[in-house]
Amino acid sequence: MAKSDATPLSPGESTQRRSVKRFDMERDEMIQLLQERGIRDERLLGAMGSIDRHEFVQEAFVNRSYDDSALPIGKSQTISQPYTVAFMTEALSLHPGDRVLEIGTGSGYQAAILARMGAKVFTIERHMDLLVEARKRFDRLGFTIASKCSDGTLGWKEFGPYAGILVTAGAPDAPEPLLDQLAPGGILVIPIGDQEVQTLYIITRTKDGYVSRQAAGFKFVPLIGKKGWK
C-alpha cells in the first residue's frame, strides 16, 4: 500500500483546513461567474476574490456564501447578490483614494470591497444592530471604514463631496442631498422604482447638471427615510 507522507491534522485543524479549501474553490467559481456575466474591472475582481464573503454571512447560511444570491442578515435585510455588488461597484468607475459614501451598510461586505479597492469609505446604516455587527467585522478583518447609524437619505455632508455614492436599497427617487454631495464628475449609483422592482440609475454630476444612464431589473429592500420610503 502507498504510504502517505501528509502530516496528520488535529480534529479542529482538519475541519478548518477543509472549509478554507472548499470556500477558496467556491470563491474562485464566484469570480468566474462574475466574469462570464460581463464584469471586467480587474481591481474589483481582485477585491472580491480576496474578501471572504462567508465572514459577512450568518452562520445558518454560511454554506451558501458564494452563491450568486442575496442572503438574510437579520432585521429583514439582506447582503446583496455578488453580481449586483460587482455591477454597482463597476459603475462607480473608482480610482484609489476616491471618497465614497455607501448608504445601507448591512453586513459591511460592499463597504469592505470598496475599501479593498483603495477608496476612503463612509457608510451609513439605519439599524444599529446591523451596524454593530458590521463594525466588528471591519475590526476583525482590518478594514478602516467610517460609519454611522443614521438616515442615509440625507447623506453625510461633513465628509463630502464624494467621487462616488452607492445606495444599496431601493428608492422612490434620487434623494436631493445625495445629488448635492456629489463632487463634479462624481457618480451616484442608485436603484429607483417601486418597492418590488427597480432600475439602476447611474447618475454623473457634470458642470451643467446631471446626466444619467440606466440598467434594468434589480430588486432591493426599500430605502426608508426622510427622502426615501416612509
- How big is the site for ligand SAM, counted in residues (CB under 6 A)? 26
Q: Do 192 and 169 meet the contact criterion of CB atoms below 8 Å apart?
A: no
- 104 binds ligand SAM per the rule CB under 6 A: yes
3-state helix, strand, coil in the chain (%, to 5): 40, 25, 35
Q: What's the rounded Cα separation, in Å, for the pair 214 and 209?
A: 17
Enumerate residues 185-214 that contact ligand SAM by CB under 6 A: none
Characterize the bridge pairing of strands 198-205 and 182-193: antiparallel
Q: Select from 68, 65, 71 the least CA-distant residue to 23.
A: 65
CA dihedral 120, 112, 142, 134 (to 10 degrees): 110
Q: Do 110 and 56 meet the contact criterion of CB atoms below 8 Å apart?
A: no
Q: What's the rounded Cα separation, in Å, for the pair 43 and 89?
A: 11
Nearest distance from C-beta of residue 146 to ligand SAM, angstroms: 14
Which of 23, 66, 109, 201 is in the footprint of ligand SAM by CB under 6 A? 109
The set of residues, in sequence order, having a beta carbon less than 8 Å from that of 207 and lying 6+ positions away, is 184
- 125 binds ligand SAM per the rule CB under 6 A: yes
Nearest distance from C-beta of residue 80 to ligand SAM, angstroms: 5
**CB under 6 A: which stretch of 20-28, 89-97, 99-107, 184-192 binds ligand SAM?**
99-107
- 107 binds ligand SAM per the rule CB under 6 A: yes
Which of 26, 151, 161, 215 is in the footprint of ligand SAM by CB under 6 A? 151
Which of 80, 147, 181, 198 is in the footprint of ligand SAM by CB under 6 A? 80
Residue whose CB is less far from ligand SAM, 112 or 203: 112
**CB under 6 A: which stretch of 59-67, 71-79, 182-190, 198-206 binds ligand SAM?**
71-79
Q: Select from 133, 51, 55 the least CA-distant residue to 85.
A: 51
Is 80 an annotated catalytic residue?
A: yes
3-state SS, residue 106? coil
Residues making contact with ligand SAM (CB under 6 A): 77-80, 103-104, 106-107, 109-110, 124-127, 130, 151-153, 168-169, 220-221, 223-225, 228
Catalytic residues: 80
